[in-house]
Homo-oligomer: A and B are copies of this chain.
Amino acid sequence: METVFGIAERLSPKTADALFDRIEAAIPTPEMRPRALFDRFGIEVIATTDSALDDLKHHDAVRHSGWHGRVVPTYRPDTVVDPHVLGFSGNLERFLAMTGEAATWDGYLNAHRARRAFFKQCGATATDHGHANARTENLSSGDAALLFDKVLAGKADASEADAFRGQMLTEMARMSRDDGLVMQIHPGSYRNHNPSLFADFGPDKGADIPTATGYVQALKPLLDAVGNDPALTVILFTLDETAYSRELAPLAGHYPALKLGPAWWFFDSPEGMRRYRETTTETAGFYNTVGFNDDTRAYLSIPACHDMARRVDCAYLARLVADHRLDEEEAFGLARELAYGLAKRAYRL
């Protein structure tokens, strides 16, 4: 059994104390230091997700520490593109201030360009966008500027705030086309569903619930603008599994700019990953997917996550071989691609 602490026993009240002691004894050892685990886990790159407002000083420290490991930031601008976010107007102010840009639509776009360039210089290869839905917009430059002014003045209503967020996905896609950062869209979570939990403990405490998410209409403005550009990579994730066979695989099969991210969050599980392959492969193929990346905040879970993903993918490949839908030799090649090659190329690592 592959585990970081070499535990073979089942967790139970009987084994709890002994296992607790064993873990406690292991943690302070040199073998359990983050950099030692980085090597032990065979990690080539770790990407963090960082606010557009982050100064990336910790990334800077790692990069200049003389250590060989590669840890890169990812540009996540949600807090400065989504007017629904708490504290948005203060964020916007800081964002313009830190880039020295004017409080205009053009200035605001330039601020993004500057921050993206800075992230890229610190090693970033990707951006990440986690919106409540997949809505995109493709307004004329004039209309976008008017909308920005309204948002800036705090006078945008809920529907205008949605439109602005949607417009910014398209702007981010355009900038990705220009600067080569891979764009990731993670839509469809109803955040902070439990108000008393939110009041007591704040956001990101497990009260985020998936909702039905439509992609075909929602992504059209973005795709109309840049979907046919093979130099651009937009990676789509979903919390609505019904979209895989109906919407996402057909879209990714068609548009050169689109690829499908792996099963995510509630679905990076054996059944979830299996359904992902079963519902996407026949339409989108393997090469419109990006291999596996886990979304973990738990460093020690990384080997188990990747081990599971590889087992599920290999079980799927094995079934294709047993059904004579793939030759064994092809499956061997694909197994490596799904585990390694696709992710490395899709994220331009």
Binding site for B on A (CB under 8 A): 10, 190, 193-197, 206-207, 209-212, 214, 216-217, 220, 223-224, 227-228, 239-242, 245-247, 249-251, 254-255, 266-267, 269-272, 278-279, 281-283, 323, 325, 327, 330
Contact = CB atoms under 8 A, between A and B. Distances in A.
A340 B2 CA distance: 35
B194 A246 contact: no
Question: For A190, A227, A271, which residue has the most chain B Cβ atoms within 10 angstroms?
Answer: A271
A330 B12 CA distance: 11
3 smallest A-B Cβ distances: which pairs?
A269-B282, A210-B246, A209-B250
A287 to B, nearest CB: 16
A266 B245 contact: yes
A234 B246 CA distance: 23
A10 B329 CA distance: 11
B266 A250 contact: yes
Nearest to A1: B324
B242 A246 contact: yes
A211 B224 CA distance: 18
Contacts of A249: 266
A9 to B, nearest CB: 11
Contacts of A190: 216-217
B209 A212 contact: no
Contacts of A327: 10
Nearest to A239: B246
A97 to B, nearest CB: 37
A207 B258 CA distance: 13
Contacts of A323: 270
Contacts of A241: 242, 245-246
A224 B250 contact: no
A125 B249 CA distance: 34
Given A194-B227, A245-B241, A254 B207 contact: yes
Contacts of A197: 228
Given A271-B282, A272-B245, A216 B220 contact: no
A246 B255 CA distance: 26
Given A220-B193, A254-B206, A212 B211 contact: no
Nearest to A224: B195
A227 B228 CA distance: 44
A3 to B, nearest CB: 13
A232 B239 CA distance: 28
Contacts of A224: 195-196
Nearest to A283: B266
Contacts of A207: 254
A194 B282 contact: no
Given A194-B228, A194-B254, A209 B266 contact: no
A193 B223 CA distance: 9
A245 B195 CA distance: 22
Contact of A211 (B210, B216, B227, B281): B216
B267 A245 contact: yes
Contact of A223 (B194, B227, B254, B271): B194
A247 B210 contact: yes
Contacts of A245: 241, 266-267, 272
